[in-house]
A and B are shown apart, each in its own frame.
Chain A
Amino acid sequence: MNGTMLITFIQQSIRLSSTLLLGSTGEMITEKSGNLNLGTPGIMAAGAISGIVGAYFYTSSSAAFSPLLSILITLGCCILGSLLTTLIYCFLTITLKTNQNVTGLALTTFGVGLSNFVGSIINQRMGGTGVAAFPEIGKAYRTTLPFADKLGIFGDIFLSYGFMTYLAIVIAVIVAFVIAKTRVGLNLRSVGENPATADAAGINVDRYKYVATCVGGIISGIGGLYYVMDFAAANWQNNILDQFGWLSVALVIFAVWRPNIAILGSIIFGALYVVGPFLLGLSTKDQELLKILPYVVTIVVLVIISMRDKKENQPPESLGLSYFREER
C-alpha cells in the first residue's frame, strides 16, 4: 500500500464510518430509553429511500437546480420517512407493548422491502438502467470546503468530506453530552434502567420512550441517507443498507452505549469493512472474510464486558422489556 492508497483508504473508512456513527448514535438514544430497536436497518433503508424519492421529484420538476435546496428537500424527506417508520415501532412496542425483538425484526424486513420496492419503481421510471442516480445531488452532498484541497495531506485526511461527516460527529458529541450531563439525559437513562423507579419519580415513561425512539430513528435514518447520497454519490441500489444497519447495532455494543466511543469505533468498523480491496493480492473470498471482522470484534467486546462485570458498561437494565405500570 503506497501513500496515495493509504490516504484513499483512510478517506473511505471515514466516509463509511459516518453512516455507522449516525446509525449507532440513533440506536443508542433508543436503547438508553430501554427500547431495543432491531428495526434500525429497516429505518435506515426507509430514510434513505425517502431521500431518493425527494430527489426524484425535485430533479424531475422544472425548477432550476439548487444544491442547497436539493439537500434540504432530500434531508426533509428522509427525516419524515424515518420518523413515520419509527412511529410504527413506537406504537407497537410502547403503546401496545408488543415484543420488541419480534417487532424490530419485522420492521427491518418491512423497511428494506419497502425501500427495494420504491427503489425499483424509481429505477423503472428513470429508464430501468439498474441504478437510480442523481449525480448533481451527490455532488452537492460531497461539496467540501473550498480550500480543503490546498492543504496537502492534512486537507486530504481531515477536510475532504461532505458536511454530513462532520454533522455525524457533532451529533454524537451532543448526544453523549446530553445523556451524561443533563437532566433530560438522567431521566432518559433512568427510564431505560428502571422504568418503575422513573415512573415513581414522576417521569412520563412512555413519553420519554416515544421521543427517544423517534429522535433515534431519525438520526439512524439520516445515516442511511448519508450512505446513499454521499458514500454512493446518490446512486440507489437495492439491498445495500441493511448490512450497515446491523453493523450500527453491533457498534452500539462495541462502544458500550457511549456515542463518544462510537466515533472511534465507527472508524475502526469502517476501516475493517473497506480494507479488503486495498490489501493487494487478497482474493475475493478473503475480502469477504474481512467484512466479518466487525462482528467478531463485537463478540469479543461482549465477552470482555461480561467478564469484567462492571455495572456501568452493561446494557441498560430493562433493555428490551416493555413497561407495565399496574403489576400486582
Chain B
Amino acid sequence: MLRLILVFCFEKIIEFWVEFSKQNTTERGKTVETKAAIQLKNITKTFGSVVANKDVCLTVNRGEILSILGENGSGKTTLMNMISGIYFPDSGQIFIGGNEVVIRSPKDAFDYKIGMIHQHFKLVDVFSAAENIILGLKEKGKYDIKQAAKNIKEIADKYGFEIDPNKKIHEMSVSEKQTVEIIKVLYRGADILILDEPTAVLTPQETQKLFAVLRRMRDDGKAIIIITHKLHEVLSLSDRVAVLRKGEYVGTVNTAETNESELTEMMVGKKISLNIERSEPQNPQDRLVVKSLNCVNREGVKVLDDISFTARSGEILGIAGIAGSGQRELLEAIAGLQKLDNGEILYNNPKTGETDNLRDKTPMQIRELGVRLSFVPEDRLGMGLVGNMDIVDNMMLRSYRKGKSVFLQRKGPKDLAEHIIKDLEVVTPDANTPVRRLSGGNVQKVLVGREIAASPTVLMAAYPVRGLDINSSYTIYNLLNSQKKNGVAVIFVGEDLDVLIELCDRILVIGSGSVTGIVDGRTATKEEIGLLMTKSNGGGQNG
C-alpha cells in the first residue's frame, strides 16, 4: 500500500515537473521575439543525393509581405512545402509565434494557422466554390452550405475579393480558382499565408487585383510569404526579400533599400568558371528561321507571343528562361507537336537547298527532314523513352517503320544500342536491360544518343543534363559540341546560366512566352541574362 502511494506521488512530481519545464520553455520562447510570425532556423532537406535546402534561416513578421526570390531549383517551393507540412525537414527548427513546433502534415500546418496556396490548385472540379472551401472542415452543427456561402461572402467583402460561392470550379477562370484557394485558407483562419508563384497564371490586371488584396491582408496583421521570380513584382509588393540560390540562403534585404541589379546578383551569384570547350562556329548558315510564332494553350493563356529567331548550322543556340515560359511549346511547335495560331517555321534543307515551312508537315515528315528533338521532362522518362522496354526496343521506336518484312528486325537497332552504350559510356548490364532500371544520367545518354545517331541537321536538346552529375553533364556537352562541329544547328535549352554562357554561341532569352533578348554567349553576363529572364512583357505564362 505504502509503495503504491509512493509511486503515485513520484508520478505526480514528474508530471508537475514536465508541465513546469514546458511552461518555462514557452516563457523563454516568447521573450525571444513577439513580432515574428514564423521563424526558420538551419532548415536542411535532401532528396537522395540532391540538397534542396541547406541551412536556411528565415523570419517573417506579422503585418509584412516577404518575397522569396530564386531561380528554378533554388529550393523555394521545397522550403515552403516544409512549412505547410508536405515535406518534413531533415534537420533544423521551425518557430511559430516564438514557440518551436513540429509540422508533420498539412493538418498540423492548419492547426498552426498556416495556409499555403499551391501553384497547382488543389480543388475538386465538380464542386462549387463553397463546397471546396468547407471541404474537410470539422465544424460543429448542421451541414449548411448556404451559411458557408454567407461566411465566404463576408471574407470576400472584407478583403475585396470577387467570388460567386455557388459557381462550379470547372466553370471558373484561373484567377477565380486562385481566389477560391486563398479564401479556403482564410476560412480556416490562417494567419500565415504562403503563395507559390501566384502571378504565374494571371494577367497583369488580375495581378494588380491580387496585390491589392494581399496588401489589405497585410494591413490586417497577417504574415504573407510570396514565392516569385519576377523582380518588378518583388519590388512593388513586398516589404522584405529573402533570396535563395541553389538551395542555400543568400540573405534578406529590405525592399526599400535595394534595386533590381542587386537582387539579380544575389539571385544568380558570381560567375563560376566551368571550362566547357567552345569552338568558333564553322561556316554558319541559316538553317531554321522562326517567324512570329503565336500559340494559345487550352486554358486560353498565350504561351508563345510573337517569337522570332534564327538557328544557324555549326552553332549552338541557347534558350534561357524561367521554367514554363514557353520553352516546351516552342520546341514542340518546331517538332510539329504543337498547334500554332500563326507564324511560320522555315527550314533550309542543306541537301536539296529547298526551303520548307515546317508548319505544313507532320511530326514524322519533320523528323525525316533531320529535325530532331530530345526533351528531358521533369520526370525524365515522360517523353521519348518507354521505361519498361530495353535499350534496343527504344532504339527501334524510331526505326521500326523502315523494316521490310512483317517481323521486327532487331539487328540494326541492336548494333546502334551497342554503339551508344560504348561511345557514351552508358552504364548498363547489357542492351536488353529495361531503360527504367538505368540511372537518370544513363537514361538521358540513351535519349540524346538515339537522336544524334540519326545524324540530324537540327538537334533540339531540352534540359539534357537535368539531374545529372558533373561528369555525365560534360559527356552531354561534348556530344552537343561534336554535333556543332559536324555542322548541325544545335538548340540547347538549359537551366544553369553558367553552362549556357560557356557552351552557347548565342543565347535567346524568353520571358512569359516572348523573346526578351538575344545575347552573345561570349560577352554576356549572368546578371544581364537574369534581368532579361525576369523581365515580362505582360501577358500570361503557364505554371
Residues of A within 8 A of B (CB): 181-183, 186-187, 189-190, 193-194, 196-203, 311-312, 314, 317, 328
Contacts and interface: CB of A to CB of B under 8 A. Distances in A.
Given A181-B143, A182-B143, A194-B122, A199 B106 contact: yes
A203 B110 CA distance: 13
B296 interface: no
Given A181-B143, A199-B106, A311-B168, A186 B135 contact: yes
Interface centre among A193, A201, A314 (most CB of B within 10 A): A201
Interface centre among B106, B122, B124 (most CB of A within 10 A): B124
Given A186-B135, A201-B136, A328-B47, A312 B126 contact: yes
B131 interface: yes
B123 interface: yes
Contact of B170 (A183, A200, A203, A311): A311
Contact of B135 (A181, A187, A328): A187
A203 B126 contact: no
Contacts of B107: 202
A187 B136 contact: yes
A278 to B, nearest CB: 41
Contact of B106 (A186, A189, A200, A314): A200
A78 to B, nearest CB: 32
B127 interface: yes
Contacts of B143: 181-183, 186
A198 B139 CA distance: 16
B131 A186 contact: yes
Given A186-B135, A311-B170, A200 B126 contact: no
Given A190-B127, A196-B122, 12 more contacts: A181-B143, A182-B143, A186-B131, A187-B135, A190-B135, A194-B124, A198-B136, A201-B137, A203-B135, A311-B125, A311-B126, A317-B126
Contacts of A317: 125-126
Contacts of B137: 183, 201
A181 B136 CA distance: 15
Given A183-B143, A311-B168, A311-B170, A201 B127 contact: no
Given A186-B135, A187-B136, A311-B168, A200 B124 contact: no
Nearest to B120: A196
Contact of A197 (B47, B110, B135, B168): B135
Nearest to B378: A328
A194 B132 CA distance: 11
A194 B106 CA distance: 16
A202 B110 CA distance: 9
A317 B134 CA distance: 20
Contacts of A196: 122
Nearest to B78: A328
A203 B124 CA distance: 13
Contacts of A197: 122-124, 135
Nearest to A317: B125
Interface centre among B47, B126, B170 (most CB of A within 10 A): B126
Which 5 A-B pairs rank lowest in CB-CB distance, beginning with the nearest? A201-B136, A197-B122, A183-B143, A202-B107, A202-B136
The dominant DSSP class at the A interface is: helix
Interface in B112-147: 122-127, 131, 134-137, 139, 143
Contacts of A193: 124-127
A204 B367 CA distance: 49
B311 to A, nearest CB: 34
Nearest to B144: A183
Interface in B83-125: 106-107, 110, 122-125
Contacts of B127: 186, 189-190, 193
Contacts of A190: 124, 127, 135-136
Contacts of A182: 143
A317 B125 CA distance: 9
A182 B145 CA distance: 9
B110 to A, nearest CB: 6
A202 B139 CA distance: 13
Nearest to A192: B124
A202 B106 contact: yes
B543 to A, nearest CB: 16
Contacts of A181: 143
A312 B323 CA distance: 34
Nearest to B131: A186
A203 B136 contact: yes
Contacts of A203: 135-136
B125 A200 contact: no
B131 to A, nearest CB: 6
Interface centre among A189, A194, A196 (most CB of B within 10 A): A194
Contacts of B47: 328
B95 to A, nearest CB: 23
Contacts of B135: 186-187, 190, 197-198, 201, 203
A287 B131 CA distance: 48
A109 to B, nearest CB: 27
A194 B110 contact: no
A59 to B, nearest CB: 46
Nearest to B111: A202
Contacts of B168: 311-312
30 contacts: A181-B143, A182-B143, A183-B134, A183-B139, A186-B131, A187-B135, A189-B126, A189-B127, A190-B124, A190-B127, A190-B135, A193-B125, A193-B126, A194-B124, A197-B124, A197-B135, A198-B135, A200-B106, A201-B106, A201-B122, A201-B135, A201-B136, A202-B106, A202-B107, A202-B110, A203-B135, A311-B125, A312-B126, A314-B126, A317-B125
A198 B134 CA distance: 11
Nearest to A183: B143
Nearest to A194: B124
Interface string B165-188: 000101000000000000000000
Contacts of A312: 126, 168
Interface in B402-437: none
Contacts of A201: 106, 122, 135-137
A55 B123 CA distance: 49
A240 B170 CA distance: 43
B133 to A, nearest CB: 10
A317 B110 CA distance: 26
A202 B137 CA distance: 8
Interface in B33-80: 47
A22 B145 CA distance: 29
A312 B126 CA distance: 6
Contacts of B126: 189, 193, 311-312, 314, 317
Nearest to B87: A328
Contacts of B170: 311
A276 B124 CA distance: 45
